[in-house]
Amino acid sequence: MSKLFSRFKLRGLEFKNRIFVSPMCQYSAQDGMADTWHLVHLGSRAVGGAGLVMVEASAIAPEGRISPYDLGLWSEHHAEALAPIARFIREQGAAPAIQLAHAGRKASTDAPWLSRSPLGPEQGGWQVVAPSAIPFAPGSPLPRELAEAELSGIVTYFVDAASRALEAGFKVAEIHMAHGYLLHQFLSPLSNRRDDAYGGSLENRARLPLRVAQAVRAAWPQDLPLFVRISATDWVEGGWDLAQSQQLCRWLKEEGIDLIDCSSGGLTPDARIPAGPGFQAPFAAAIRQEAGIAVGAVGLITAPEQAEQIVATGLADVVFLARELLRDPYWPLHAARKLGAEVPWPLQYERARPA
């Protein structure tokens, strides 16, 4: 019996398997609006058999986008555009999920296949913000330091976006606290040099992320799960690390967070990351053990046997796949055959099912 294809339940939501589609930016929206590209891209992964399909980082405010081409969820119109996507994912038996994000100092950049360079106002960009006035990299714009009085507004943006996600039909929301974006910037001592209640000690640096988690949990239905994605380490000496991540996750569990999506890096451009097959799974295992919370492993998970081993040995409760699902939207169906698991195929595709 494949553990990867066993059911998994969080709160009142049951997932048909433990293969989750990781949020992957498509840089294909105009004014933050989802369109037919997003419907086909995400819908095909739901048809392909994943247990959960997560929409890419969706900005809680226009200035929170990584690029002008990112999805957004700062208005009812954005929710209306996303609703058909959530509905189609549900119709395929997968759980529709969405990641809520603010890019902070890493915002206002070009699409990666163009230049990924920072964009000035004359190029359609905008003023970026951060916990401290420290640029992301040499040549990056100097961010404006957020005033303490503005932080309640950030919390409200996250709550409002979560409410719109619910209206659109999503069953899972994920708060983005990873990859060097705004909430991660508050967590890391490399990017947060504040001397007020939101800087200095770990408790202070975690204050805004925890406020966001608490407020979104209060707005999200009690029978539906709420995830948080973290970077377990900055991979830089003196930065955010696993021990701090474990403490953060203990606090997040107390706030009612149900699963930690364990990634790493992204805060600085010069981090030396020893990437390799499943290299972040040990972070998931360490957080699961120390914080007593469900976790997802992500990062260079490509083979069915590898994914099975991660969940079967308790390194993680689920696996998040990204690039492998770009290469093969039907990876879960193929993985089931390889692992000897009996799973249904879409009726429309049944005639192509291998004997």
Per-residue pLDDT of the chain (355 residues; tens, 9 = 90+): 999 999 999 999 999 999 999 999 999 999 999 999 999 999 999 999 999 999 999 999 999 999 999 999 999 999 999 999 999 999 999 999 999 999 999 999 999 999 999 999 999 999 999 999 999 999 899 999 999 999 999 999 999 999 999 999 999 999 999 999 999 999 999 999 999 999 999 999 999 999 999 999 999 999 999 999 999 999 999 999 999 999 999 999 999 999 999 999 999 999 999 999 999 999 999 999 999 999 999 999 999 999 999 999 999 999 999 999 999 999 999 999 999 999 999 999 999 999 8
CB-CB neighbours of 171 under 10 Å: 23
Task: Kindly report the backbone phi and psi dihedral angles of residue 227, in degrees, each rounded to the nearest multiple of 5, phi listed first.
Answer: -105, 160
SS3 135: coil
- 55, β-bridge pairs: 98
DSSP one-letter string for 264-300 = ---S-TT------TTTTHHHHHHHHHHH--EEEEESS
CA contacts within 13 A on the Cβ side of 167: 15
Residues 6+ apart with CB under 8 A from 171: 13, 90, 95, 96, 97, 224, 225
Question: Is the whole-model pTM more than 0.75?
Answer: yes
Is 330 catalytic? The answer is no
Strands (E), the chain: 8-10, 13-15, 19-21, 52-59, 95-101, 129-130, 144-145, 172-177, 226-231, 259-263, 294-298, 318-321
8-352: CATH topology is TIM Barrel (3.20.20)
Longest dimension (CA), the chain: 65
From the candidates 27, 69, 157, 181, which is the catalytic residue?
181
Q: Are the C-beta atoms of 92 and 44 separated by less than 8 Å? A: no
CA 204 to each of CA 152, 197, 268, 324: distance values in angstroms, whole numbers, following the listed order: 15, 6, 21, 38
- 95, β-bridge pairs: 52
CB-CB neighbours of 37 under 10 Å: 11
Rounded CA separation 235/117 (Å): 23
- What is the model's pLDDT at position 221? 98
Strands (E), 33-157: 52-59, 95-101, 129-130, 144-145
**Cα-Cα end-to-end distance for the chain:** 19
Q: Are the C-beta atoms of 307 and 19 separated by less than 8 Å? A: yes
Integer Rg of the chain from CA? 19
